[in-house]
Amino acid sequence: MTRFRFAPLVAALPASVPFTGPETLERRAGRPFRARLGANENGFGPSPRAVAAMQRAAVEVWKYGDPDSHDLRHALAAHHGVAPENVMVGEGIDGLLGLLVRLTVAPGEAVVTSDGAYPTFNYHVAGFGGRLVKVPYRDDAEDPGALAGAARDQNARLVYLANPDNPMGSWHTAGRIEALLDDLPAASLLVLDEAYAEFAPEEAIPRIDPEDARVIRLRTFSKAYAMAGARVGYAIGPAELIASFDRIRNHFGMNRISQIGAVAALEDADWLAHVRAEVAASRDRLAGIAQSNGLTALPSATNFVALDTHCDGAFAGALLQTLARQGIFARMPGVAPMDRCIRVSCGPEPDMAAFAEALPRALKALS
Amino acid sequence: MTRFRFAPLVAALPASVPFTGPETLERRAGRPFRARLGANENGFGPSPRAVAAMQRAAVEVWKYGDPDSHDLRHALAAHHGVAPENVMVGEGIDGLLGLLVRLTVAPGEAVVTSDGAYPTFNYHVAGFGGRLVKVPYRDDAEDPGALAGAARDQNARLVYLANPDNPMGSWHTAGRIEALLDDLPAASLLVLDEAYAEFAPEEAIPRIDPEDARVIRLRTFSKAYAMAGARVGYAIGPAELIASFDRIRNHFGMNRISQIGAVAALEDADWLAHVRAEVAASRDRLAGIAQSNGLTALPSATNFVALDTHCDGAFAGALLQTLARQGIFARMPGVAPMDRCIRVSCGPEPDMAAFAEALPRALKALS
């Protein structure tokens, strides 16, 4: 029995948590992980220029951050060749997804995604009473044709697609994404989650007119820029849609230190190139470790690799638990048949070496 | 004409912004303010220990923050003598207010506040379709009796009271707050905004059983701890209500650097005492400046002072604009008769000296 009367939308929600954080797992285990490879964080670290800018900004943290994120929005607009009015900055892609669902989805309206795609998007859709319609992955990738079909069948308000995809690391070409836009019904807005875009081959990133009313793109400083803890994401889309965030967002929600750090990170193209090269090498390293142990690395356009165990979800889950007992934090896709894989983030060599040492021991323990 | 179909709740909202930030005003003016005294920021600055902790944390910003804010929640629980289950950490009081309204207010339900009280609360109530009912201030203070009366008349879901009050700086005794709780109808939850509590006399802070289902308290690191740019607020309330935030909050929304900085700030009691003393002296300084210029400082339990111009809102507004042209950023209450005042934040002596120099010139320009 409850002592509180919640709003009906909230009363219908489970007390669920999208992800259990690694710190919680560490507290349960009573010791820290040796290698933190489960959240697709970027252990190659942020630009030293961004770190220095954040350290300088710390003494001025008594000031609120600029509620317009003016400097960062203008820097992002210049970086992407769009107008500042096409850019909204928010507290990570997660925060922007919540706002976008609230802006566009009325209770009971349909939203289409893939079964096994990003759970936090589903969390926000459920949170605002949207009706989730899921289509299956095809060949370990999200299926644009199935997404468009479901969008037409359901007259969906939003259609979610991550390109490159999380959790599989797969990607579609720019042409395939553009064709998806043409296949969507007029009522649908494509939510194109490009959190991993900076790791992807150039041909995976479509050129989209920012005023194209059929799509909003989401980017982040959490992955390639290695600033997950700073909570900086941004959306690129039509000025009218971007402006509508001002009706509901937490205007003073953007951290001052993070805004300043993100501007500095964006300016440091050399560091981004360095990180990309390190990630590419780390993907190869993970593939080698997998191969040495009878697993297969799936092709990845991200800073993680899905490693196919050639078994099933029960086995992959047991493997993750066994790895965790050896101090390796990794995760796995939530839905069959992708859950035959474990998902391991790229990282510096000490992390790779720890994984290389732990994996054969874990596999042996399970055999 | 719009190209987008917004959810009905959003379509009904204005494209309004609760506050224009000082950076925006500076960009319009083409030069920075000499004294930033309009947002009740704390120019005495954060604890040097908090700054050092944030600077150390910057290199690890590649990691997400702990989604449970475990260390900070436990430190706050110990600080307040409550259980960790009674504490929710969020992106400032603003962020927590939005979540609280979403949790408890269905479209069309009544919410009671004072006409002239915190606009961002009203913004969130409107954003979730709540029906705002406003009662007038009495003698430059929020009126608990009128709030309780309106709550009973309207069977309000939420009743907002800031103690000490913003924008007037006035405060009620603990006994008066406790009496308000007894006066509320069963359906009402008191939202007790204590953003300025650390500046208030001890007798203004009620002792409340954290499991008292009639109230949720809100605190922040933005004011006394001088970490506005870090976006750290927290709520203290019944465990069941606190847990319900997990149904809708942005779980990975809390900045890692901010969490670490807040823990360090909370540990530095000496710095807090230093800031309190500086703020008390600055209130006296502002009162002296006011008196020298024919204005009257109202009593304040906060880090700002409402200065009575003994004129009307039109005069106070003109005074603010004239001060702004001289590089002084201040604000004013939005509603008569309180809008006869300007609201000036406490700050270090250079800011006070700049205000002391600008005020007589501004008054002369208006006379």
* Confidence grade of residue B1 (pLDDT, cut at 50, 70, 90): very low
Measured between CB atoms, which of A2, A59, A94 is closest to B45?
A59
Within 8 A of B102 by CB-CB distance, chain A residues are 7, 10
pLDDT of A244 > 70? The answer is yes
Question: Which strands form A341-345's sheet, in the order they lie side by side?
Answer: A296-297, A304-308, A341-345
Q: Which residues of A touch B238 (CB under 8 A)?
A: 3-4
The pLDDT value given to residue A1: 38
- State the CB neighbour count (10 A cutoff) for residue B315: 16
Work out the mean pLDDT of chain B and round it to a whole number: 97
> Least CB-CB distance to B213: which of A3, A104, A261?
A3
* CATH 3.90.1150.10 placement within chain A: 19-45+270-366
Average pLDDT along chain A: 97
Mark yes or no for CB contact A92/B252 under 8 Å.
Answer: yes
Q: For residue A115, what is the DSSP state? A: T
| Contact criterion met (CB below 8 Å) for A86 and A107 | no
Q: What residue ranges of chain A are covered by domains with CATH 3.40.640.10?
A: 48-267
Closest to B287 measured CA to CA, from B298, B302, B276, B275? B298
Which chain B positions have a beta carbon within 8 Å of A129's beta carbon? none
Do the chains contact at B59 and A39, CB–CB below 8 Å? no
* Residue located via tokens 């937490």: A250
Q: Which residue of A has its CA nearest to B42?
A: A62
Query: How many Cβ atoms sit within 10 Å of the Cβ of residue B216?
Result: 26
Q: What is the pLDDT of residues B297-339, one digit of tens each?
A: 999 999 999 999 999 999 999 999 999 999 999 999 999 999 9
Flag whether the ipTM exceeds 0.95: yes
| pLDDT score of B25 | 94
Which pLDDT does position A197 carry in this prediction?
98
Average pLDDT for residues A215-242, to the nearest whole number?
98
Query: Are the beta carbons of B187 and A5 separated by less than 8 Å?
Result: yes
Cβ atoms of B228 and B250 closer than 8 Å: no
Task: For residue B122, give the nearest of B171, B160, B170 by alpha carbon.
Answer: B160
DSSP codes, B124-176: HHHHTT-EEEEE--BTTB--HHHHHHHHHHHT-SEEEEESS-TTT-----HHH
Determine, for residues B229 and A255 on separate chains, whether the beta-carbon distance falls below 8 Å. Answer: yes
pLDDT digits (tens, 9 = 90+) for B14-41: 887 778 899 999 999 999 999 999 999 9
Q: Are A191 and A216 in contact (CB under 8 A)?
A: yes
How open is the CA angle B339-B343-B349, to the nearest 5 degrees? 160
Homologous superfamily (CATH) for A19-45+270-366: Aspartate Aminotransferase, domain 1 (3.90.1150.10)
For the stretch A80-113, pLDDT in tens is 999 999 999 999 999 999 999 999 999 999 999 9
B48-267 folds as Aspartate Aminotransferase; domain 2 (3.40.640)
